[in-house]
Amino acid sequence: MKALVELFWFKYSQLQHAVKIGNEKLISMLDREIEPALTAVLQKEASDVSELRSQFQFVVDLLREESEDRACVLRQAHNLKLLLDRYFGTDEAARPFGLNQPDGARPAAAPRIVEDGLLNEAILDSLPDRVAVITTDYRYLYSNPLNAERFSEKPIDLVGRHVVEFIGVQRFESRVKRHLDRCFAGEVVEYDYISSRRGNAMTRCRMTPCMSAAGNVLGAILVLQEMLESRDPMAA
């Protein structure tokens, strides 16, 4: 994965230089080479968590690099969705970029949110609760619109960013990190906390390990539900 990513950025930088100096012949040649390089990165099936992170980070970096070009942003956002569908979606959606599984191949099992709910973007987006997927390096891999709205962000703008940016170092170190670490170790974690953003309303957070088809923990699925009942903020 690393070699494919580095090859793409090498060609990308060459193309940017060719555009800058106005070398039409070089631009034409690199245009033909850069698309296969991009496809190679996106079609590569991640073999471990490190490669998975690299693949998602690659798309996020490309989104930022092309942020001023709306057409490119929409395309890379689509590519990000395809990656989400491949690794966390339903079996039917898990074949992006025109790839087909060989006959008789066992489809990868999609990780579950709770009970029978599959980790599928369409399902997550429609849930009445806030939902996020956090990687093992404490960065957002996914956020549904309701969760992103809480931070006055769009879901795509949270991807790749560290949770500390949104909850602060003190809350992260004193509570959230230890719960995430327990979840990364394979434990389902559930706890309540007081949300100062919501007028000291009680929120319940449930963390479920997000597993790959091979049984490796890719991160944690967070479902945050606001509780109707109030509780003494000083209570344990």
DSSP one-letter string for 7-64: HHHHHHHHHHHHHHHT-HHHHHHHHHHHHHHHHHHHHSPP-SHHHHHHHHHHHHHHHH
C-beta of residue 96 within 8 angstroms of C-beta of residue 181: no
| 119 burial type by CB count under 10 A (0-12 exposed, 13-18 middle, 19+ buried) | buried
Residue 123: partners with Cβ closer than 8 Å, 6 or more residues away? 113, 117
Supply the pLDDT for residue 196: 64
Query: What span, in angstroms and rounded, lies between the C-alpha atoms of 229 and 236?
Result: 16
C-beta of residue 63 within 8 angstroms of C-beta of residue 53: no
For the chain, what percent of residues have pLDDT higher than 70? 74
Q: CA nearest 193: which of 205, 207, 178?
A: 205
Query: What span, in angstroms and rounded, lies between the C-alpha atoms of 143 and 97?
Result: 23
Supply the pLDDT for residue 199: 58
Name the token pair of 175.
């509570």
Supply the pLDDT for residue 207: 92
Strands 217-226 and 130-135 turn out to be antiparallel
pLDDT tens readout for residues 192-209: 988 666 556 788 999 988
C-beta of residue 157 within 8 angstroms of C-beta of residue 63: no
Supply the pLDDT for residue 166: 92
| Below-70 pLDDT ranges, the chain | 88-127, 195-200, 212-215, 228-236
Name the token pair of 27.
């631009």
Domains for the chain: give ranges and CATH numbers.
2-88 (no CATH), 121-226 (3.30.450.20)
Supply the pLDDT for residue 176: 95
